[in-house]
Structure 1
């Protein structure tokens, strides 16, 4: 076990607040960090008009690394230059700058909230690993581990990473879209010449992929609702030579299992 204080010595932890950035109901900070570092900086400049969360000179920030539960990615140390009712003026410090996006830690057991007294956690935080370069894309986790928010899959589709694209464009399969707001599910499939990558690209483009019930949902609540509340789960995969009939039968099986044809539980209309 290697502790954070062994590789990141800080003379006076009581001069720091610790910022734990997690999903805010709209976006994940890790996705913003990957997309554009300035977006990530914005997570540290934001201030609620009701709460002054950064009450010390420095803030050490960590990003929820949600592909690995309980793991956080170091996002930098910031100096608070000025405090305003709705934002902070900050400066990215040079200290430990080389660890940004590379240092992964765990054992940060905080209550609800996003800002904490750093000295209460400094001596117990453990190092998971130090990456050889800054984390710049969600590495393909394997077919059986795909259970990601809609916004994350959209980011991946837009970035077009070769590991994800190669893995998903060459398979047929069954997948599930889950509305995390109400628990309803939609079971879909990719067959014919359409691999999972192509099929999911359609959803990321318009939010509904041409499906009747999802079209109605997007028309009623908008694309933003789907992007905010839906997630993708890959249920099973098949090689491209698998017959379309087999895929359709497996899709029907999962619709029965998940009861997604029942309007109370799902969005499948047939």
Structure 2
């Protein structure tokens, strides 16, 4: 689809189409959507302002490719309009990533979980904007499900990225801080920069449980390094650690989604196993992960 937005001088050619890359004069979201679908009305739309729900951040879910299914599950009948406009908060800012325009086909009550499951079908003429369009909206209240006509004038387009938002390239060992969903995405896609870095080193890592605040300190050594070890966590959630396995057995496998993965220090992938374990012991003592965390030894 070819469209021209005459609101900025910053336009570029992408596959023969001229698209907005960054607005100097902010443009309203629904004005843009109506360029693609002239009959779309805010009165037919519900806004889903997706934010941290106490367990997981929707941006992590989106980057992992699970947002559409995640959004379908609602504790109340939140999407009682023909269309849902999904906006995903960028951590700690007034910026929101456009997650898509969805048509609400139907809803089913799931008695076993006391949830409502919505049949939402992404509207394809707006699909190319998903993960690329950034909207500025200052939300000074807690409500996450809004009537679009009340707020359409406040939803301002600030950017249209040339490519869909994805997990960034490997940021360096000192900056690694992955949610479980992000780790799953990295492992599933075998993102080259991540795999290359993590498989080339041994080291000591920490898993933070964002629900309980407890820590687990572990180490990785030998062939495949940290990449091989973290692949096991991605697959099982607990990596065969006794305390983590017990936790998941008691609370359910989904409780692993509260985990975050960081690196405390690295060593050569051919480093002596005992040297790596010694450093692991040091960090267990420093972080008190035996007395106040998930380490048993």
In the alignment, which residue of structure 2 is the partner of 1:232? 261
Q: Is 2:45 the partner of 1:20?
A: no
Aligned residue for 2:185, secondary structure, equals: helix
Q: Is 2:204 the partner of 1:174?
A: yes
Deviation at 1:255, TM superposition (A): 1.6
Task: Work out the number of aligned pairs and report it.
Answer: 262
Deviation at 1:109, TM superposition (A): 2.1
167, 172, 189: which is aligned to 1:142? Answer: 172
Change (3 A) 1:105 1:254: farther
Q: Is 2:158 the partner of 1:131?
A: no
In the alignment, which residue of structure 2 is the partner of 1:74? 98
In the alignment, which residue of structure 1 is the partner of 2:191? 161
Change (3 A) 1:88 1:158: closer
CA distance in 2, matches of 1:201, 1:224: 17
Aligned residue for 1:148, secondary structure, equals: strand
In the alignment, which residue of structure 1 is the partner of 2:277? 248
TM-score (norm 2): 0.70
In the alignment, which residue of structure 1 is the partner of 2:78? 53
In the alignment, which residue of structure 2 is the partner of 1:269? 296
Q: Is the 8 A contact 1:8 1:96 kept in 2?
A: no
Change (3 A) 1:201 1:72: same
Aligned residue for 2:164, secondary structure, equals: coil
Q: Is 2:71 the partner of 1:41?
A: no
| Greater share of residues in strand | 2
Deviation at 1:101, TM superposition (A): 2.0
Deviation at 1:240, TM superposition (A): 3.4
Change (3 A) 1:35 1:185: closer
In the alignment, which residue of structure 2 is the partner of 1:3? 26
Change (3 A) 1:15 1:267: same
Q: Is the 8 A contact 2:222 2:270 kept in 1?
A: no
Change (3 A) 1:211 1:98: closer
CA distance in 1, matches of 2:57, 2:250: 25
Change (3 A) 1:52 1:215: closer
Query: Where does the alignment leave 5 or more consecutive residues of structure 1 unmatched?
Result: none
Change (3 A) 1:82 1:242: closer
Q: Is the 8 A contact 1:138 1:156 kept in 2?
A: no
